[in-house]
Amino acid sequence: MARKLGDTVTTRGFVTTLGWVLNRPAVELERDLGFHSGRLSGGWLLLFLKDTVRDAEVELAGTTIASGGLQTVELPGGGTVRERIDTIARARSTAADARYGTGYHQQKKMVMEHFRETGGLKRIVKLVPGIPDMPAMPRDEQYPSGSGIPQWYLQAYKSFVVGAIVGPDDARRVGGPRADRHWMDPQWAKAL
């Protein structure tokens, strides 16, 4: 179904803040967010979070270096396993951390400040590629490590508003010969 600016979309998944993605060329976004090269060549939607989010609905996911919010952990026996960053941070937190609001609890509190932003560059956004997931492609190829943009995993389905629609032609033009042309007016971003 075709979307238009201002439409409401219900979704969940990995999110970041507007400042990390606004008016960046497709090739940079692919590299920095951790999308397979060419994944944004078909354009993308930029969604702005509308709903209120509770602490329990958000998982810590580190940065896009940790593709899928997973980190390799060494096991006592010498092997390794990929584990969710939120699970690792929670396990390392102590009862004292819970009592004093330190450790995992402090990290969650700082993250939730982003989810309370309703405007500006700290606003929570989700970038949705025009080219859907490719089930036949291995996950680590489809979603390679990014360059280190902060990311969180929104577990619950929430309402987002379509804030930008970047078509294939716009994706190619940004950062190209017409580098002065932005795919989203920052004033529009403030108005949503």
Residue 185 lies in a domain: yes
Question: Domain total for the chain?
Answer: 1
Residue 181: pLDDT band with limits 50, 70, 90? very low
Q: How many CB atoms lie within 10 A of CB 160?
A: 25
What's the pTM value of the predicted model, to 2 decimals?
0.84
Residue 1 lies in a domain: no
Parent domain of 184: 8-191
Question: pLDDT per residue over 38-89, tens digit each?
Answer: 999 988 999 999 999 998 999 999 999 998 888 888 888 888 888 888 888 8
pLDDT at 182: 56
Residue 44 lies in a domain: yes
Residue 137 lies in a domain: yes
Class of residue 72 by CB neighbours under 10 A (exposed 0-12, middle 13-18, buried 19+)? exposed
Asked if 59 and 86 count as a contact pair (C-beta separation under 8 A), the reply is yes
- The Cα 176–Cα 181 span in angstroms is 9
Asked if 67 and 34 count as a contact pair (C-beta separation under 8 A), the reply is yes
Q: What 3-state DSSP class applies to 112?
A: helix
169: left (phi over 0), alpha (psi -120 to 50) or beta: alpha
Residue 112 lies in a domain: yes
- The Cα 130–Cα 170 span in angstroms is 13
Q: Which of 120-129, 161-170, 176-185 has the lowest mean pLDDT?
A: 176-185
Residue 2 lies in a domain: no
Residue 3 lies in a domain: no
Amino acid at 35: F
Q: How many CB atoms lie within 10 A of CB 32?
A: 18
Question: pLDDT per residue over 80-125, tens digit each?
Answer: 888 888 888 888 888 777 777 778 888 888 888 888 877 788 899 9
pLDDT at 177: 40
How many residues are listed for the chain in this entry? 192
| 80 half-sphere exposure, CB direction, 13 A CA radius | 5
- The Cα 3–Cα 6 span in angstroms is 9
Class of residue 19 by CB neighbours under 10 A (exposed 0-12, middle 13-18, buried 19+)? middle
